[in-house]
Chain A
Amino acid sequence: MGRGNFMALALMLLGVAGMPFLTSGSYALTVGIFAGINALVAIGLCILMGSAGQVSLGQAGFYGIGAYVSSVLSIKFGLPVALSMIAAMAVASFAAVLLAVPALRLKGHYLAVATLGFGEIINVLLNEWGPGGPSGFGDIPHLTLFGYTLSSTTANFYFIWICVAAVIIFSLNILNSRTGRSLRAIHGSETASIAMGLDIVALKMKVFILSAVYASFAGALYAHYVTFISPSSFNLFYSVLALMMVVLGGITNVWGGVAGAIIITILPELLRKFEEFDVLVYGLILTLSLLFLRKGIVPLLIEKAVRLKGGSGARA
Chain B
Amino acid sequence: MFTVFLQFLFSGLTVGAVYALVGMGFNIIYNSTSIINMAQGEFVVIGGLLMWFFTESVKLPFFLAAGLTILSAGLVGLLMERLTIRPLKSADLLLMIMVTIAVSILMRGVLMFKFGKDPYTYAPFTEGEPFTVAGAVIQQQTLWVIGVTACCIVMLYIFFNKTMMGKAMRACAVDTTAAKLVGINVSRVVMISFVLSAMVGAIGGIAITPISLMEYDKGPMLAVKGFCAAIMGGLGRGRGAVIGGFAIGILESMTAGYLHSGMKDAVALVIMLAILFFRPAGLFGSVAMSRLRKF
A and B co-occur in one complex:
yes
A interface with B by C-beta (< 8 Å)? 49, 55, 102-103, 105-110, 112-114, 116-118, 120-121, 124-125, 127-128, 236-237, 240, 243-244, 247, 251, 276, 279-280, 282-284, 286-287, 290-291, 294
User: B124-132, B175-183, B223-231: which one contacts chain A?
Assistant: B223-231
Q: Are B231 and A120 in contact (CB under 8 A)?
A: no
In the bound complex, do residue B103 and residue A114 qualify as a contact, i.e. CB atoms below 8 Å apart?
A: no
Task: Answer whether residue B257 sits at the interface, using C-beta atoms and an 8 A cutoff.
Answer: no
* Shortest distance between the CB of B278 and any CB in chain A (Å): 9
CA distance A265 to B88 in the complex (A): 26
Are A290's CB and B98's CB within 8 A? yes
Using CB atoms, name the residue of chain B closest to A124: B266
Q: List 13 A-B contacts (CB under 8 A).
A: A102-B273, A109-B235, A110-B280, A116-B227, A118-B273, A124-B266, A125-B266, A128-B263, A236-B220, A279-B109, A280-B106, A283-B109, A290-B98
Whether A294 contacts B91 in the complex (CB less than 8 A), given A120-B265, A120-B269, comes out as yes
Which A residues touch B118, using CB under 8 A? none
Q: Give B211-224 as 1s and 0s: 1 = Cβ < 8 Å from A's Cβ atoms.
A: 00000000010001
Chain B window 244-273, contacts with chain A (Cβ cutoff 8 Å), 1 for yes, 0 for no:
000000000000000000110110011011
B270 and A121 within 8 A (CB): yes
A291 adjacent to B266 (CB under 8 Å) = no
A283 lies within 8 A of B273 (CB): no
CA–CA, A281 and B110, complex, Å: 10
B window 81-103: CB within 8 A of A: 84, 87-88, 91-92, 94-95, 98-99, 101-103
Beyond the given A110-B280, A121-B266, please list 14 additional residue pairs across the A-B interface where CB-CB is below 8 A: A55-B94, A105-B277, A105-B280, A106-B280, A108-B293, A114-B273, A121-B269, A124-B263, A236-B220, A247-B95, A279-B109, A280-B106, A283-B108, A287-B103
Contact A282:B105 (CB < 8 A) given known A106-B276, A113-B276, A117-B269: yes
Could you tell me the distance in whole angstroms from the C-beta of A296 to the nearest C-beta in chain B?
9
Q: Which residues of A contact B272 (CB under 8 A)?
A: 113, 117
In contact, A116 and B106 (Cβ under 8 angstroms):
no
B105-119 CB mask vs A (1 if < 8 Å, else 0) is 111111011000000
Interface of A is mostly: helix
B36 in the interface (beta carbon within 8 A): yes
What's the minimum C-beta distance from A188 to chain B, rounded to whole angstroms?
A: 13
- In chain A, what residue has the closest Cβ to B294? A108
At the interface, yes or no: B195 with Cβ under 8 Å from chain A?
no
The answer to whether residues A116 and B105 also contact, given A108-B295, A243-B98, A294-B92 and a CB cut-off of 8 A, is: no
B106 & A284 in contact (Cβ 8 Å cutoff): yes
Chain A, Cβ-Cβ closest to B279:
A110
Per the bound structure, the CA–CA distance linking A287 and B36 in Å amounts to: 16
Cα–Cα distance between A236 and B107 once the two chains are bound (Å): 19
* Contact present for A110 and B113 (CB under 8 Å): no
- Report chain B residues within 8 Å CB of A251: 94
Asked whether B113 lies within 8 Å of A280 as measured between CB atoms, the reply is yes
Complex Cα distance A102/B275, Å?
10
Q: Which of B29-47 contact A (CB under 8 A)?
A: 30, 36
Rounded to whole angstroms, the CA-CA distance of A124 and B270 in the bound complex is 12
B269 touches A283 (CB 8 A): no
Decide if B281 is an interface residue (CB 8 Å cutoff): yes
